Amino acid sequence: MNGKNKKRDIYIAIAEPTRRKLLRLLAEGEVLSFKELIIHFDMGLLRFQSIWQSLKMQAS
């Protein structure tokens, strides 16, 4: 993947409201466990794990 596509993919990833909320929580600086993070979201564990994995991939 070239740099231009990677940059576009990052913007697509953060366009999703749940991902933005997760990034906002992480940026606040408080250390939260996975279980502490998930209580902020109205979704199942598998869906949250999917979003988490997606963000980790975008960060690398």
**pLDDT tens readout for residues 2-60:** 667 777 777 877 788 888 888 888 888 888 887 788 788 887 777 778 877 877 776 66
Per-residue pLDDT, 58: 63
Per-residue pLDDT, 59: 65
CB neighbourhood size of 22 (10 A): 20
Per-residue pLDDT, 60: 62
d(CA 17, CA 7): 18
Per-residue pLDDT, 1: 53
Per-residue pLDDT, 17: 87
d(CA 60, CA 47): 21
In what helix (H) or strand (E) does residue 38 lie, and over which residues does it extend? Answer: helix 34-38
